[in-house]
Amino acid sequence: MKLSIVIPVFNERDTIEELIRRVQNVEVGLEKEIIIVDDGSEDGTHQILENLNHPNIKIFFHTINQGKGASLQTGFSKAAGDIVLIQDADLEYDPRDYSRLLEPILDGRADAVFGSRFLGGPHRVLFFWHYIGNKLLTTLSNMLTNLNLSDMETCYKVFRKEIIDKITLKSKRFGFEPEITIKLSKMKCRIYEVPISYSGRDYSEGKKIGWKDGVAAIFHIFRYKFFK
């Protein structure tokens, strides 16, 4: 079996090489392909990626910034693995959690796995209001999907490839998170959650998501629940 690791990247020159090193070094017992989608970076990330030459890395470039969702759509379309895993490029999420994330799919229990930052794994203590916003969005999503997720907005989401191939994604930015969650629920997919570690960063360290994305997420939750 092959694991496709899709990495959306935008202006991550300080972390992208270290992230790739960590992903390459982690052992998962599967063949790995790494699919990097640079979403119009302007800080030198593009040049770093152009100089990479690894046989298991595929790199694609967007000429202008379109958003995380758009990058994931590109990455999913290029994935050749049996399982697809999303990895951010900012070092907030640790590839050493891959084995835990993959287990429910590999043993046949799950179609998708979410890595939860709130199920007991070690995490950096940061923003109270981000935590409250995340819980509100997850609760609203749960109310409309009848799921009991603890962390709908998590980066770490893993899918059987045949599942993600059946889903037509529309969101270009962070609306991807509620969109994929709601569409998985509509398909009656078997979803598992597992605890993960989380090394969050603050805005001085390059964090990008903000309150406007939270407001947009509310719109997307209703959009994808009630409209095609």
pLDDT of 205 higher than 80 = no
Contacts (Cβ under 8 Å, ≥6 apart) of 147: 141, 181, 185, 191
Q: Which residue has the tokens 């640079």?
A: 38
Q: How many CA atoms lie within 13 A of 112 on its CB side?
A: 25
Assign domain 2-226 to a CATH class. Answer: alpha beta
CA–CA dist 187, 52 (Å, integer): 38
Residue of 188, 174, 181, 179 whose CA lies nearest to 216: 174
Compute the average pLDDT of residues 147-172.
Answer: 95
Least confidently predicted of 49-53, 100-104, 123-127, 189-193: 123-127
Query: Is the pLDDT higher at 155 or at 228?
Result: 155
**Looking at residue 201, what is its pLDDT?**
54
Determine the angle formed by the axes of helices 211-226 and 176-186, rounding to 10 degrees: 20
Q: What is the mean pLDDT of residues 162-170?
A: 95
Helices of type H across the chain: 16-25, 45-50, 68-78, 98-106, 128-145, 161-164, 176-186, 211-226
Residue 125 has a CB neighbour count (10 Å cut-off) of 7
Over the chain, what is the mean pLDDT? 91
| Strand ranges of the sheet holding 57-62, from the earlier edge strand across to the other edge | 57-62, 31-39, 2-9, 83-86, 157-160, 112-116, 191-195
* Residue pair 131/60 in contact by the 8 Å Cβ criterion: no
- Amino acid 207: pLDDT: 58
Average pLDDT over residues 183-208: 82
List the end-to-end C-alpha distance of the chain, in Å, as a whole number: 33
- Mean pLDDT, residues 13-32: 96
Mean pLDDT of 144-170: 96
- Residues 86-131 have pLDDT tens digits of 999 999 999 999 999 999 999 999 999 999 999 877 666 666 877 7
The residue count of the chain comes to 228
